[in-house]
Amino acid sequence: MAPAVAQAAGLRTSGSGLTLNPVAQRALSRGASTLSTPMSPPPAFGSIVTVLSIDGGGVRGIIPGTILAFLEEKLQELDGEGARIADYFDVIAGTSTGGLVTAMLTAPSPDDKNRPLFAAKDINNFYLKHCSKIFPSCGGGPLGLFKKLMTGPKYDGKYLHSVIRDLLGETKVSNALKNIVIPTFDIKLLQPTIFSKYDAVNDVSKDALLSDVCISTSAAPTYLPGHQFETKDKDGKTRPFNLIDGGVAANNPTLLAMNDVTKQILLGNQDFFPIKPADYGKFMVLSLGTGSGHLDAELNDIGRQQAVAVAHRLSKEVKPAAIYSSDLKRAAETAKTIARICNLPNVVFDPALRERHIGDMQGMKFQDAATERPEAYKAFMSHKRNQQIPGGGESLDQLSERCVSCLLNIVEKHKGERVIVVSHGGTIRELYRHASPMRPVQGKIHNTSVSVILVSSITGRCIVKTVGDISHLQATGVLENAFGGDKNSA
C-alpha cells in the first residue's frame, strides 16, 4: 500500500535537510528504484492498500486517460517531474481498453527497467494517433456493414495487434512494475481467465506476453477477432489460450482487483501483512469509467405539449412538497415545466432516476441493433435480470437497485409528504415491480403518464394506487412520441 502523498517520494524534512524516511529505506532494501521518485514501497510498509481500476470502452479510454494525466500532473507538483501514476498504487486493474491503459502505466521502460514505459499524459496521444487506423470506417454503407458482420468481426485487428506488439515487445506479465489484474474470457473453456502479476510469478503458464494479454482483453465480440496464443508450464507442457474481451463475463475490474488482494491476504502474502480482508478502512480504490453514454435527446414540440398537459393536471391536485427528476434533458424539461406551472421550488435532479443504460444499443433503432449489435441486442432482450448489456449497459437488477434506492431516499427526506418524481419508462417499470412484484406492468408506459405509489415511511411498504394514467393526454390529443428520434429508437 502506498504511503500518504506527502511521503510518496520517500522524503521527509528535518533540521539537517532531507532524509530518507524508514518506509523508503525498507523499500530500497527490497530493490526499489533509487531515482528521485522511487516506486512506492510494498503494501506492508504503508497505511492503506491503493487500487486503481479502469473500465473498458474502446476509444473512450481517452476519458480515464485525461483524468490520469491531470492526476499525474498534480502529483508531479508535489513530488517532482519523475512521479508516475504507478508510484502511488499497489494494484492496477483494467478490462478491455482499461487493460491496455493498465499495461501502458506499468510496463517497464527499455531504458530503465524500474520506471514505467509511459507517462499518463502519453495515453491520450496514443489513442488520438492510432484510433482511426484501429477502427477504420467500413465501406458500402449499411449493406456493407451487414455483410461484414455476417462474415466476421467488424475490424480485422491487424493494426491494433502490430501496434501493441511494437509497444510492449517481449514484456511479460511478471515484468509489470506493479501488480496488475487484467481479465479475459476463454471461449473454449467458457470461463474467465484472469491475468495478474502475482499469479504469473507463481505459475509460469500464466506469465504470458503482456501484448497477448492486451490483445485478448481488447477483443470485443463482433468488433475484433478473438486471440489465440500458447505458453508453457514449468514442465514444458503447452497451455493454449483462446481468448476474447474480459468484459464478456468479468466487466468489473474493481471487483477483480479486490478479489486478487483478498486472495493474497488469505494466502499469507507478506506484502499485505497485517492487513485483513475485512479491514475496509485500509483500502482506497480509484475507479475510472469511460463515460455513461446515455442517450440524451430533447423533447420535441409534442413532448412539450404533453409536459404542459400533465403540469396542468398536477396543478389541480394537492400541492407537493418537492419535485425530483432524472437529469436527462427530456425528463428535466418536463420537470421544469411542472415546477413552473405548479409553482414549486427548484427541481432536484438525480442521475439515479435516469433511464436504463443499454450499452452498445444506445441511440440505435431496434432493428439496426439486432444486426449491428447482436450481442447487446440479445442481452437487452434476455429475461435474465442479472444480464448486463455489452458496452457498459445495466442489468435489470442494477437498474432496480439504483432507482429503488433513490425512491427510498426521497421517502426518508419527505415523510408524510407528497412528492413528484419525473423519470422514464424503464425506471418506472422497476419502481412498479418493487411495489407490486406479483403484477408486472403490461403494455407501454406512455410519456408523461401519471403513476401514484404510496410508500410507508416506517416499513417502506409500497401500495400502487395508479399506473400509467393518460387521461390528461387523451383530453388534449397528444399521445404521439415526445422526444427526438422515433418510437423505434432504443
Tell me which residues are annotated as active site. Answer: 96, 245
| Lookup result for grid cell 432516476 | 353
Q: CA-CA distance, 469 to 126, in Å (whole number)?
A: 53
Cell of 159: 493494426
The residues that bridge with 322 in the sheet, in sequence order, are 419
Helices and strands in the chain, H and E counts = 16, 16
402 carries a ligand binding annotation: no
| Lookup result for grid cell 434506492 | 405
User: H-helix or E-strand containing 116?
Assistant: strand 112-116
- DSSP secondary structure code for residue 230 in this structure: E
CA angle 361, 329, 476 (to 5 degrees): 105
CB 176 within 8 A of CB 210: yes
CA angle 214, 219, 221 (to 5 degrees): 160
The region, left, alpha or beta by phi > 0 then psi within -120 to 50, assigned to residue 418 is beta
Q: CA-CA distance, 109 to 118, in Å (whole number)?
A: 8
Q: CA-CA distance, 420 to 452, in Å (whole number)?
A: 9
Reduced to 3 states, what is the DSSP secondary structure of residue 276? coil
CB 445 within 8 A of CB 428: yes
Q: What are phi and psi of 268, to 5 degrees?
A: 85, 25
CB 467 within 8 A of CB 432: yes
CA-to-CA dists, residue 392 to 80, 124, 190, 245, 341, angstroms: 36, 21, 21, 13, 37
Q: What are phi and psi of 83, to 5 degrees?
A: -65, 140
| Lookup result for grid cell 457498459 | 392
- Binding-site residue positions for substrate: 330
